[in-house]
Amino acid sequence: MTAIINRHIGDHFFPQHAGLTFGKQKISHMKINKTWHLKHPMPPNPTTDQRIEWHIAHQQNCSCRKIPGKLAEEMKKRGIKITT
């Protein structure tokens, strides 16, 4: 069973867990860096390069979610290291 609550912050929505799962990932605790997210929105219609750049910065500044699977695969193909 999946329970996801959308949390509105400024003009952005961020999924927050309700104690069960987030997509296919089991959740123990998610912390969102609200300040970072408000200052660093994903560009509209981002290219793959922009998505990679944003997710690398996101990974260094926020622990609210992992890099999406398909993007992680693309990063691995390009030799870009993903830390967890």
Q: What is the pLDDT of residues 9-36, one digit of tens each?
A: 444 444 444 343 445 544 445 689 999 9
Q: What is the mean pLDDT of residues 49-75?
A: 94
pLDDT of residue 73: 95
Confidence (pLDDT) at 27: 44
Give the integer Cα–Cα distance in Å for 52 and 72.
9
CA 45 to chain centre: 16
Give which of 46, 51, 56, 54 is closest to 70, Cα–Cα.
51
Kindly state the percentage of the chain with pLDDT values over 90.
Answer: 54
pTM comes to 0.64
